[in-house]
Structures are given as structure tokens and as C-alpha cells.
Amino acid sequence: MAFYYSEPSHTFSEYLLIPGYTAEDCVPANVSLRTPLTRFRKGEEPAISLNIPMVSAIMQSVSDDKLAIALAKEGGLSFIYGAQSIESEAAMVARVKNHKAGFVVSASNLTPDSTLADVLALKAKNGYSTVAITDDGTANGRLLGIVSSRDYRVSRMDGSQKVSTFMTPLEKLVTAPAQTTLKEANDIIWEHKLNSLPIVDADGRLLYFVFRKDYASHKENPLELLDDQKRYLVGAGVNTRDYQERIPALLAAGADVLCIDSSEGYSCWQEKTIAWVREQYGDSVKIGAGNVVDRDGFLFLAKAGADFVKVGIGGGSICITRETKGIGRGQATALIEVCAARDEYYRATGVYVPVCSDGGIVYDYHMTLALAMGADFLMLGRYFARFDESPTAKVMVNGVYMKEYWGEGSNRARNWQRYDLGGAGKLSFEEGVDSFVTYAGSLHDNVEISLYKVKSTMCNCGVKTIADLQKNARLTLVSATSIVEGGYHDVVLRSGSQIK
Ligand code: RVP
């Protein structure tokens, strides 16, 4: 006879936190959200920790290099999507690693033979007003000059005029050598009242620009997630098919951590993939695995050597796995059981394997609940898809700005490696939808507000760290009737009132 769980499985919205005693120093400013990303032994530090408990989903519509840079700036980490060629995934990873905080690889480049019309077309296309003029028109060619909006007047000049006639030539530019630090660059910018400072190597090749505004942003982001060479940390998704080719390429590009991307991770394929990584690289390469929804799945992957384990099947906002296949589990119930297994494994072995709650976060308070239930960090798709930095188009739908967001199991993504079990080599049926999410502005502004809410709730619970929240949180299931009580009720909203 089949096994039946005696309890129904629950989602986040069915739980609430009960406040604890709040001491005087328990204020959001004193809360640390630092959390382990990879496994560690009792008494040791994890090889990688996050400064905020957020990672972005391994999805085409979420995690490219642009989002990865924006999120690392806040203290979190992106896993660049794996459903693309090995070369292009590795190139995205390399772009994040080459983006020295505050040092920007030039995005707008032309040759001296280009025309004013070319400058204007480039500006219209990418919005940048500083164009590097190099011998070959590439970002790392020999620097010959710069064109900024101060160098031309559209009303007085002909579009066919050559760049060489109006650019600010190299001899009139202030430049700095390769080893310049961000602090030194900023001093030069202020001393010479510059908007941008080109960093040039010994052969005169352009390496980066430092922009005045980027230095300010660096100072504003003390939680930036950097490696020992002050480069942003970045993760990358891998699959259980082409890992022997993909993983070396991603590591060569500089990936700091990998994650096996699969809708269901309690499988021999994940075990084989991790075993291969251990054979090739020992413990030096970090790789997470998943997704699972129960104790057995967690213990299997922890024993296989996963550096972290992801939890969640069917709870993603774009996911229809439960409808199409009838598998999955309420995210809260899955998380609570897996986190108990993680603690059991830690007690038995002295090895802590962090747990990631993946999918189904709708409200900011769900983040706090997931952490209280034991998650060490959260993977978010829909949340990040709404921001300027996500890779998808911003479109107007019925008078409202939206961003596109589609599941990896949708026909649009065709990520068959994530779903196919038996070597069919194709997406046999859809497990995800193609959708829109409401555009929400910049990642920085949103993450700041969401995490301020998380910290405030933690203070209500009397804790200042995630570890203490996991230990001390008290949670209660709520009845359907009290869920109604939790929203506004028995009032008539004034027009314009907004519920978030
Ligand atoms: P959400 O944050 O609720 O949008 O969920 C994102 C998660 O959904 C991803 O990290 C992944 O685990 C899952 N996903 C991605 N694509 C699909 C699908 O097409 N079914 N599901």
C-alpha cells in the first residue's frame, strides 16, 4: 500500500511568526543577515558566505551578468542560467568577474573613422554618453580619444563628420595606469573635475573606465560580495548532461560556485555529477544540488557531497509541475522537514549543509518565514524578474509597465536538460508558463526595502542574526478565517490606497 502523510502540506501564507522579547539594542541597524552558502565543519568558517540571504534563480529571464553584478553589489549572488551554450554562459561569468567594482569595461566603443551619426546611434541604443575611441573600435583596443556629449553639438554639426575631428584626443585626456586603486582613481577624478577616468595598460590599451557616480555607489554598498581580488562573486547553473565540458569552462571563466539545476534532484544523475566534481577537483570546487522536498532527498544529496541543497518542487510562480505531473509539496512543509534533516545530519557528522528555499516567495514576509523555518538563504525568480537589471524586455500591457518572465520548463525556454529524465533530449511537455510581472524599478531600491522589513520582523522576534531566528522563532499555523482577519477587512478602501 502507498504511504500517506498524515498532515497536509502547507505554504508560507498559512504561517505567522509570534513576537519575542525585544531588547534595547535589537534594532534593524544591528541586525546581520550574513549567512553560509556552502557546507562547513563545526567550528570552521564556510568557504563562501552571503552578506544577504538572497540568490537569483537559474533562469533565462532572471540571471544574466547584469543582474549578477547588481545583486553582488547588494551582498547576494546570482547563478547565471545554464540553458545556453557553454561559451555564452562562460562569457557571462567572465563579464561579472572582469567587472571590478567601480571599474567598468567600456560598453560604447567606436573608431576615429566613425561619424557623429554613429555616436548618436550608439547613444540611442545603449544610453551611455561616454564613447571610447580605440584603434579597432573594441573595449580593449588602443585608446585614441573619448567622445562625450561635451564634444559635439547636434544642431551645429553634420552627421557625417568624422569622430577624429571632434573627439577629445588622448593627449588631452587624463588617464591612469592598470594598478590604480579605486580610491586613487577617485582622487584623480576629483582633482581634475572629471566625469570619467580611463584606465590604460602599458601598451596604451583601454582596460576600464572609472565613473564618478560609480565610486559613490561603491561607498554606498558596504555589503558588496567580493572575492580576495575585489571581484564580484558569481555562481553558475550546470546540468547533469554536459557537465564534463561545461564545468571546466565555467571554472576557467572564474565561476565561484556551481549549482546543479534540476526540477527534481533526488536522482542518480546528481550523485554522478557531484562525484565527478569531487574526483576532478576535490573540495576546491563548490557545487549545490536539488531540488528536494523531504528528509530522504536531503540526506541523499548531503551524503553525495552537495555543498548546499535546494528545496522546492512546484511552488515557483511560473511553475505548473504540480498540475502537469502531480508531484510536489507545499513549500513550508518541505522546508521544515528538510531543515530538520539538515540539523540531524549536522548533529551526526559535524558537517553543516546550508539549505536554500527555492521558489514561491510572494510577499516580503515570506522571506522572513522561510528563514525562520530554517532556510539559510532564498532563491528568487519572480522577485528579481521585475527589476531594471533583469535580462527581459520591459513592455506596456494595458497601460502598466511589465517585465517578461517565463519558466525554464516553458516552451519559450526549452530547457530540456532541467526536466528530461530518460535521454529523450527534448522538452516533451511544458512544466512552466510564459508570463508578465509588474515592473518594479531598480534592484537596489527593492532589496533595501524588502530586507529592512525582514530585519524589522527579526527585531520583533528578539533576534539579530539568521542563526538565532532559526533557533528561537515561534511559528503558528493560521486558520482560513484568521487569514482573512490578517488583511484589511470591514472597511471600504479610499481610491488610490495601495496594498503591497
Ligand atoms: P519564483 O521565485 O516563485 O518565481 O520561483 C522561481 C523558481 O521556480 C526557480 O528557481 C525554479 O526552481 C523554479 N522554476 C523555474 N522554471 C520553472 C518552470 O518552468 N516550471 N520553475
Q: Are residues 203 and 321 in the same domain?
A: no
Q: Which residues pair with 387 in a beta bridge?
A: 441
Between 154 and 460, where is the model more confident? 460
Cα of 168 vs centre of ligand 1, distance in Å, is: 49
- Atom 17 of ligand 1 has which residue's CA nearest to it? 407
- For residue 291, say if its preceding peptide bond is cis, omega within 30 degrees of 0: yes
Q: Are residues 283 and 384 in the same domain?
A: yes
Domain presence at residue 401: yes
Predicted pLDDT at 414:
83
For the segment 28-87, what is each residue's pLDDT rounded down to a tens digit? 999 999 999 999 999 999 999 999 999 999 999 999 999 999 999 999 999 999 999 999
> What pairing do the DSSP bridges indicate for beta strands 206-211 and 103-104?
antiparallel
**What span, in angstroms and rounded, lies between the C-alpha atoms of 201 and 102?**
17
Q: What percent of the chain has pLDDT over 70?
A: 97
For the segment 395-432, what is each residue's pLDDT rounded down to a tens digit? 999 999 999 999 999 989 888 778 776 666 777 788 89
Q: What's the pLDDT band for 500 if we cut at 50, 70, 90?
A: low
Q: Up-side HSE of residue 253: CA atoms within 13 Å toward CB?
A: 27
Question: What is the residue-wise DSSP string for 2-56?
Answer: ----SS----GGGEEEPP----TT-SGGG-B--EE-S-EETTS--S-EESSSEEE
What integer best gives the mean pLDDT of the chain? 94
213: pLDDT strictly greater than 90 = no
Predicted pLDDT at 171:
96
Helix (H, G, I), strand (E, B) or coil at 453: helix
- The preferred substitution site among 58, 59, 362 for testing ligand 1, maximizing ligand atoms within 8 Å of CB, is 59
Domain presence at residue 3: no
**What span, in angstroms and rounded, lies between the C-alpha atoms of 258 and 220?**
29
Q: Are residues 371 and 440 in the same domain?
A: yes
Helix (H, G, I), strand (E, B) or coil at 395: strand
Q: Are residues 234 and 289 in the same domain?
A: yes
Q: Are residues 195 and 243 in the same domain?
A: no
Q: Are residues 377 and 290 in the same domain?
A: yes
Domain presence at residue 1: no
Q: Cβ < 6 Å from ligand 1: which residues?
A: 57, 59, 312, 316-319, 321, 358-361, 379-383, 407-410, 431-432
Domain presence at residue 235: yes
- What CATH number is associated with residue 67? 3.20.20.70
Query: What residues make up the domain containing 477?
Result: 12-100+224-486
Shortest-distance atom of ligand 1 to CA 379: 10
- How many domains, the chain? 2
Kindly state the average pLDDT of the residues 198-204. Answer: 96
Q: Are residues 330 and 409 in the same domain?
A: yes
- 227 alpha carbon, distance to own chain's centre: 16
Rg (CA), the chain: 25
Domain ends where: 172, 198, 219?
219
The residue count for the chain: 500
Predicted pLDDT at 107:
84
- The preferred substitution site among 13, 358, 404 for testing ligand 1, maximizing ligand atoms within 8 Å of CB, is 358
Cα of 316 vs centre of ligand 1, distance in Å, is: 4
Predicted pLDDT at 417:
79
Cα of 59 vs centre of ligand 1, distance in Å, is: 8
Q: What's the pLDDT band for 262 if we cut at 50, 70, 90?
A: very high
Cα of 225 vs centre of ligand 1, distance in Å, is: 24
For the segment 305-335, what is each residue's pLDDT rounded down to a tens digit? 999 999 999 999 999 999 999 999 999 999 9
Task: From 316, 257, 314, select the one nearest 285 (Cα to Cα).
Answer: 257
Domain presence at residue 494: no
Predicted pLDDT at 429:
84
Kindly state the average pLDDT of the residues 224-230. Answer: 89
Domain presence at residue 375: yes
Q: Are residues 96 and 145 in the same domain?
A: no
Domain presence at residue 495: no
Cα of 263 vs centre of ligand 1, distance in Å, is: 9
User: At CB < 8 A and 24+ separation, what contacts does 80-84 make?
Assistant: 80/234, 80/235, 80/236, 80/237, 80/255, 81/237, 81/408, 82/58, 82/236, 82/237, 82/238, 82/239, 82/246, 82/261, 82/415, 82/417, 83/237, 83/408, 83/413, 83/414, 83/415, 83/417, 83/418, 84/60
Shortest-distance atom of ligand 1 to CA 319: 20
- The preferred substitution site among 311, 408, 418, 431 for testing ligand 1, maximizing ligand atoms within 8 Å of CB, is 408
Count the neighbouring beta carbons within 10 Å of the beta carbon of residue 430: 18
Helix (H, G, I), strand (E, B) or coil at 345: helix
Predicted pLDDT at 218:
64
Domain presence at residue 353: yes
Shortest-distance atom of ligand 1 to CA 430: 19
Shortest-distance atom of ligand 1 to CA 261: 12
| Longest distance between any two alpha carbons in the chain, whole Å | 85
Predicted pLDDT at 486:
87
Domain ends where: 219, 239, 267?
219
Predicted pLDDT at 14:
97
* Predicted-complex ipTM score: 0.99
Q: Are residues 85 and 187 in the same domain?
A: no
Predicted pLDDT at 217:
64
Predicted pLDDT at 423:
65
Q: Are residues 201 and 264 in the same domain?
A: no
Cα of 417 vs centre of ligand 1, distance in Å, is: 15
- What CATH number is associated with residue 206? 3.10.580.10
Q: Are residues 344 and 201 in the same domain?
A: no
For the segment 374-387, what is each residue's pLDDT rounded down to a tens digit? 999 999 999 999 99
Phi, psi of 446 (to 5 degrees): -70, -45
What pTM did the predictor assign?
Answer: 0.85
Q: Are residues 271 and 143 in the same domain?
A: no
Domain ends where: 191, 219, 247?
219
Catalytic positions: 319, 418
